[in-house]
């Protein structure tokens, strides 16, 4: 059986960070938030593209692209994984966007997780999965 690893989104409170550390949780750093590891490098971090903050726009905004690039270039070498850009509830358009970014993400990070979105089916995603590419549950 595979080991489950828990990640929490970044929190700025020292008490919550201490609680996460005590429980062995890792930190999910978002391009849309404060790009700080809060000292979790020893436990582990992961990188999110920040698309949730742009939900409802039907696209992945240029400002997030710039922030995501900076995040992955800065922290990708120490991250457990990164989620390539996607479009919340974007179905096939989201998958196409993620696949476009996938090679670049894998150059900077050891693993990428494709965000599965509303409207996607298993047969669309399965061919792209492997040791370096997994699934991130996205959508609405």
24-69 pLDDT tens trace: 999 999 999 888 999 999 999 999 999 998 887 878 889 999 999 9
- Confidence (pLDDT) at 56: 75
Q: What is the SS3 assignment for 136? A: strand
Q: Which of 22-26, 76-80, 136-140 has the lowest mean pLDDT?
A: 136-140
Using CA atoms, how far apart are residues 131 and 11, in angstroms rounded to an integer? 30
pLDDT value, residue 106: 98
Q: Residue 7's pLDDT is what?
A: 94
Sheet with 26-30, edge to edge strand ranges: 7-9, 26-30, 45-48
82-93: average pLDDT: 95
- pLDDT > 70 in the chain, percent: 99
Residue 79's Cβ-count burial label (10 Å; 0-12, 13-18, 19+) is buried
Interval 98-107 mean pLDDT: 98
Per-residue pLDDT band for 90 (boundaries 50, 70, 90) equals: very high
pLDDT of residue 1: 65
Q: Read off the DSSP letter of residue 80.
A: S
Whether pTM exceeds 0.95: no
């Amino acid at each position: 059986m595979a080991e489950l690893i828990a990640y929490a989104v970044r929190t700025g409170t020292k008490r919550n960070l201490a609680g996460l550390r005590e429980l062995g949780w890792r930190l999910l750093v978002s391009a849309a938030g404060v790009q700080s590891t809060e000292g979790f490098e020893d436990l582990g971090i992961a990188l999110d593209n920040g698309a949730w903050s742009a939900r409802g726009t039907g696209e992945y905004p240029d400002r997030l692209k710039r922030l995501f690039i900076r995040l992955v270039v800065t922290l990708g070498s120490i991250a457990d994984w990164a989620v390539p850009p996607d479009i919340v509830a974007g179905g096939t358009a989201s998958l196409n966007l993620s696949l476009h970014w996938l090679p670049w993400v894998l150059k900077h990070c050891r693993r990428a997780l494709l965000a599965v979105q509303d409207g996607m089916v298993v047969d669309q995603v399965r061919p792209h999965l492997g040791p370096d590419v997994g699934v991130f549950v996205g959508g609405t």
